Amino acid sequence: MKLTKKALCCILTATMAITSLTACQNTTSTESAGGETSSTANTPGTTTEPGENSESSGGTVTELPSNGSVMKWCGYYDLNTQDKDMVEKFNDAGYTIEYIGTTSGEYFVKQAELIASGDAPDLVSYEWMCYPHGIQQNLYTPMDDYIDFDSPLWSGMKQTIDNFNYGGKHYYIPYQLKAGVVLIYNATALENEGIRTDPFELYQNGEWTWTAWKDLMTEWCNLGEDYYGIMPTGFVAMPFIVSTGTKVISVDGVNKEIINNMQDANVQRCQDFLQDLARQGMIQGEYKNPDQALIDGKTLFSEFGLDWGYSTTQAAMKDQDVKFVPIPRDDKADKYYMNTDTFGYLCPAGAKNIAAAVKYMELCRENEIDPERIEKAKAEAIAETLYYTKCLECGETGTDKTLSKCPNCGADLRVNNTHVAMSEELYDLSVELKNPESDQFVFVWDDCFGFNNELTTLMQTGNSDGQEAILGGPFKNGDSYTTIREKYFGTVEGYLDPYRESLKNS
């Protein structure tokens, strides 16, 4: 086994492209991340029109604030063009969307400016720093009086929603679970090198553990000096730490606690394990996008979020058998703990049309659990060939991408050459990784990237010299986690204390 190969520095794709929130000197009091702030969001001080009553999970009935049929949406993409199907349903319900554009880098600053000016948008999408940072900054409205989380529509997501409890209130309403980080690999490359062990088969047999993963990478790396086991991305060690059942940083909104687990034995054990991989030369530190990460056949695994990472890798290597597996199970864990992600929306403080915002959320949730949509998505994913839905002969546009002929005129539809069929087994795994009621996985939300930029940077990329990253140093460079932990534990505590004070007073 190689012991001298030095891991290169990696460019991190998952670094949050966000800036600190600006202070808002208005009725919604906000301060910088370093200062104290009240966490009680404003009740929209607007004239409301009669709307549908919504029974909250607390059993009360509250009229949803409304100022008409226009919902103001603030984001770095336009729902009108990027989510056409949902917007059409929204239009059918009597609403339209006014787009307020911003960029990912100015996302929170723009929201704060609009709230301060009294012209708050009605809906924004979730980003990691929304919870708890954005809530601590009083940017959002609690939704408990407007949505009944026990209703048939929302009950399947209630446990997920409760993970984002903040001081007994719910500001962020996720309507779907998104698969977290997985390990993507090229099964064809394994076969070409004469390695018969398939990670997906190990997973199916209940044998996909840290030890099995390390053994496979050891065999792979022994093929040559330029063979690497894995290319980490901006998530670095977090998904592996989560597999122990422990979060790096945990926000307990019910008990009003923020817990720093840097000194936890499970975190130490995982970091030592990853550090050992780096010191044995298994880590490819030179970052590449998913369409390039595995293409040379010398790096076995890449660490990406499932949806973007797998589809991009697969499209770039259509002649190869590209697969994915969950993060391996900790040998000592009692269950299969899996990092995950969510998506949904929030209503900014001062939103004047919460009725429209809630309607849009409901439509998204209805679509998420619609049996026809679920069946259609699977049929398209596993289909050997997909076709463009617009007919070049008659101009008719359909919705079924699996049809080879136009249902209107019978002409041959154009083949979508970018599609690569996913096996049914892989597709079923992808669905289970997004199932909030899964019996295979225990999903864990680590809050380590939900605070200010400084803490996120320290976690991912390290100090001002790009060294001693809490999550990246041991995994990518073989740095001593013990040394990093002892040096920066107090620094992290200093970042967290203002959030603790705010949560305690919420």
Is residue 248 domain-shared with residue 313, that is, in the same domain?
yes
Asked whether 180 and 339 are in contact (CB, 8 A), the reply is yes
The answer to the question of residue 376 being in a domain is no
Residue 106 clears pLDDT 90, i.e. is over it:
yes
Is residue 63 domain-shared with residue 150, that is, in the same domain?
yes
Is residue 335 domain-shared with residue 346, that is, in the same domain?
no
Is residue 279 domain-shared with residue 336, that is, in the same domain?
yes
The answer to the question of residue 126 being in a domain is yes
Q: Please write the tens of the pLDDT for every residue from 477-487.
A: 999 999 999 99
Pairing outcome for strands 61-63 and 124-125: unpaired
Q: pTM of the predicted model, to two decimals?
A: 0.86
What is residue 134's three-state secondary structure? helix
3-class SS string, 143-165: CCCCCCCCCCCCHHHHHHHHCCE
Is residue 151 domain-shared with residue 65, that is, in the same domain?
yes
Query: In this predicted structure, what is the pLDDT of residue 60?
Result: 52
Consecutive H or E run containing 310: helix 306-316
Residue 48 clears pLDDT 80, i.e. is over it:
no
Residue 13 clears pLDDT 60, i.e. is over it:
no
Is residue 321 domain-shared with residue 194, that is, in the same domain?
yes
Residue 37 clears pLDDT 80, i.e. is over it:
no
Residue 6 clears pLDDT 50, i.e. is over it:
no
State the average pLDDT for the chain: 88
Mean pLDDT of 328-332: 97
The answer to the question of residue 8 being in a domain is no
Mean pLDDT of 136-142: 97
Count of positions (residues) in the chain: 506
Is residue 239 domain-shared with residue 363, that is, in the same domain?
no
Query: In this predicted structure, what is the pLDDT of residue 465?
Result: 86
Mean pLDDT of 247-253: 97
Residue 261 clears pLDDT 60, i.e. is over it:
yes
Residue 266 clears pLDDT 90, i.e. is over it:
yes
What is residue 43's three-state secondary structure? coil
Residue 450 clears pLDDT 80, i.e. is over it:
yes
What is residue 30's three-state secondary structure? coil
Q: What are phi and psi of 283, to 5 degrees?
A: -100, 130
Enter the tokens of residue 153: 């529509």
The answer to the question of residue 436 being in a domain is no
Mean pLDDT of 379-392: 96
Query: In this predicted structure, what is the pLDDT of residue 62?
Result: 77
Is residue 86 domain-shared with residue 121, that is, in the same domain?
yes
Is residue 140 domain-shared with residue 78, that is, in the same domain?
yes
What percent of the chain has pLDDT above 70? 88
Q: Please write the tens of the pLDDT for every residue from 386-400.
A: 999 999 999 999 889
The answer to the question of residue 22 being in a domain is no
Residues 6 or more apart from 59 whose CB is under 8 A from it?
Answer: none
Is residue 145 domain-shared with residue 224, that is, in the same domain?
no
CATH number of residue 258's parent domain: 3.40.190.10
Mean pLDDT of 349-372: 98
Asked whether 135 and 173 are in contact (CB, 8 A), the reply is no
Query: In this predicted structure, what is the pLDDT of residue 466?
Result: 86
The answer to the question of residue 229 being in a domain is yes
Is residue 312 domain-shared with residue 359, that is, in the same domain?
no
Mean pLDDT of 206-222: 98
- The vertex-441 CA angle with 438 and 446, nearest 5°, equals 115
Asked whether 267 and 148 are in contact (CB, 8 A), the reply is no
The answer to the question of residue 29 being in a domain is no
Structural domain boundaries enclosing 351: 53-176+341-368
Q: Please write the tens of the pLDDT for every residue from 491-501.
A: 999 999 999 99
The answer to the question of residue 380 being in a domain is no
Query: In this predicted structure, what is the pLDDT of residue 38?
Result: 29
Is residue 191 domain-shared with residue 145, that is, in the same domain?
no
Number of domains in the chain: 2
